[in-house]
């Protein structure tokens, strides 16, 4: 056990001397609100049905302008459940009109909520890439984290999406899945787990997907509450720090994106957003002051939670 | 039992080397090398580990290897199958000794 945790800032200055800066700004990541039909135990946003933070019309317009008028390649939309923001279709439609690739991070189950049934077909029409949370390929692992009945709904949603051409072959739109550890342990190697997901989901439900991402749980939000409540925060932080992999530093999301909060505030990533850790001094801090060149050259604001993105194979 | 087995002692395994660091280092080097992926994957090795941990009934090893299985993406379904394999071999090893009893009966009977 590590007795004294070296701060992440100290750690990266040991291994990568010099400023920790953005490398290339290709992705505008937007959190359109924390409202969600689920309340998953590992959620770093602490999203749920009771959350009231939802991006408004003015900010959505600024997001559309920022992505359309700057050399971003991708608009990456997250939440909460992004579908619960009534402006989602407008944001996606405008971004697609501007020729941007759009990714939506969906929880799959929202397609069965009244009034949201049209989303799968609409996403297909728009050519939207989907990244869906499925913390494990077995029912118990998923329902323990996300709530009873979530796994069966997720499988129904995957059948629906496969029927629309998602995740079925190289020509169809991409449907990727996200594994998260169902507790305070690290994620396994992505490639071996992907094979197992493929085999198990195909054998059990005949469903397919494009690729699997294995993400580490971040010590933020509801997962942090769990760690604190069980007295495991220090142990988990030690585990993340012990798994620090300097080779992961160039690939982590903050080097390639800028993150917009539901209220237009700018951050280096969605995790910093949840901690209220603003972009570094000198960089724009709100979409009112959006400046692509300044953001492309910004230093990254870091904290010890960043060990979550650099543990093992890296996770972002 | 609880006064003998404390979960926090697992993190103090290094203390075992205090009174003979040279021998302990040899053990750690061997242990580490044995667990490195080779012809067998890390996943296969930790599954063997969790099976062995149960048949030797070592609470520290069960704790450590169960966590290792989770970190290799496995579930209680995998762990339970591995424990059944190890336990079945252990059961078979007891049963085969019935032949010792048969032989003893033969030797001591008319």
Residue A2 domain-assigned (yes or no): no
What is the domain count for chain A?
Answer: 1
Question: What are the residue ranges spanned by the domains of chain B?
Answer: 39-110
Residue A3 domain-assigned (yes or no): no
Residue A80 domain-assigned (yes or no): yes
Q: Which pLDDT tens digit goes with each residue over A58-105?
A: 999 999 999 999 999 999 999 999 999 999 999 999 999 999 999 999
Q: Name the more confident of A209 and B6.
A: A209
CATH superfamily of B39-110: AhpD-like (1.20.1290.10)
Residue A315 domain-assigned (yes or no): no
Q: What is the pLDDT of residue A2?
A: 45
Q: What percent of chain B has pLDDT over 70?
A: 98
Other CB atoms within 10 Å distance of the CB of residue A147: 16
Residue A316 domain-assigned (yes or no): no
For tokens 């149960």, name the residue: B54
**Lookup: tokens for B104:** 């003893």
Per-residue CA distances from B93 to A168, A275, B53, B58 (Å): 49, 57, 17, 19
Asked if the Cβ–Cβ distance from B11 to A185 is below 8 Å, we say no
Residue A153 domain-assigned (yes or no): yes
Tell me which H or E stretch contains A238: helix A233-242
Tell me which H or E stretch contains B54: helix B42-55
| Alpha-carbon distance B72 to nearest alpha carbon in chain A (angstroms) | 5
Q: Which pLDDT tens digit goes with each residue over A164-198?
A: 999 987 778 999 999 999 999 999 988 889 999 99
Q: What is the CATH number of the domain that holds A70?
A: 3.20.20
Asked if A221 and A44 touch (Cβ cutoff 8 Å), the reply is: yes
- On whether any CB of chain A is under 8 Å from the CB of B77, the answer is yes
**Lookup: tokens for B99:** 């032949």
Residue A160 domain-assigned (yes or no): yes
A34/A52 Cα distance (integer angstroms): 7
Residue A33 domain-assigned (yes or no): yes
| Alpha-carbon distance A186 to nearest alpha carbon in chain B (angstroms) | 5
């Amino acid at each position: 056990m590590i007795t004294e945790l070296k701060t992440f800032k100290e750690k990266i200055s040991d291994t990568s001397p010099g400023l920790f800066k953005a490398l290339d700004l290709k992705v505008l990541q937007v959190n359109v609100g924390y409202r969600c039909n689920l309340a998953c135990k590992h959620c770093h946003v602490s999203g749920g049905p009771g959350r009231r933070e939802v991006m408004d019309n003015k900010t959505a317009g600024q997001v559309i302008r920022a992505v359309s008028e700057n050399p971003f390649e991708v608009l990456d939309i997250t939440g909460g459940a992004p579908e619960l923001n009534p402006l989602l279709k407008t944001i996606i439609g405008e971004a697609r009109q501007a020729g941007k690739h759009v990714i939506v991070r969906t929880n799959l189950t929202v397609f069965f909520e009244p009034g949201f049934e049209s989303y799968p077909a609409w996403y297909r029409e728009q050519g939207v890439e989907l990244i869906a949370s499925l913390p494990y390929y077995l029912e118990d692992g998923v329902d323990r984290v996300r709530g009873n009945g979530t796994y069966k709904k997720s499988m129904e949603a995957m059948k629906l999406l496969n029927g629309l051409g998602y995740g079925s072959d190289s020509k169809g739109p991409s449907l990727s899945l996200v594994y998260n550890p169902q507790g305070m342990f690290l994620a396994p190697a992505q490639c071996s787990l992907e094979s197992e997901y493929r085999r198990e989901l195909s054998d059990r439900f005949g469903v397919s997907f494009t690729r699997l991402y294995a993400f580490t749980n971040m010590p933020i939000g509801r997962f942090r509450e769990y760690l604190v409540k069980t007295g495991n925060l220090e142990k988990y932080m030690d585990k993340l720090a012990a798994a620090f992999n300097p080779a992961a530093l160039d690939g982590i999301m903050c080097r390639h994106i800028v993150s917009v909060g539901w209220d237009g505030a700018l951050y280096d990533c969605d995790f910093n957003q949840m901690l209220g850790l603003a972009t570094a001094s000198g960089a724009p801090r709100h979409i009112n002051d959006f400046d692509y060149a300044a953001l492309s050259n910004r230093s990254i604001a870091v904290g010890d939670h960043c060990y979550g993105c650099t543990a093992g194979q890296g996770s972002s | 039992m609880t006064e003998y087995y404390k979960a926090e002692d697992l993190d103090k395994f290094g203390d075992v080397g205090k009174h003979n660091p040279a021998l302990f280092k040899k053990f750690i080097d061997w242990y580490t090398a044995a667990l490195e992926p080779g012809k067998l994957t890390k996943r296969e090795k930790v599954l063997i580990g969790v099976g062995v941990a149960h048949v030797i009934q070592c609470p520290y090893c069960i704790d450590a290897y169960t966590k290792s299985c989770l970190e290799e993406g496995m579930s209680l379904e995998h762990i339970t199958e591995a424990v059944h394999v190890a336990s079945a071999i252990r059961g078979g090893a007891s049963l085969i000794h019935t032949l010792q009893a048969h032989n003893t009966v033969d030797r001591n009977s008319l």
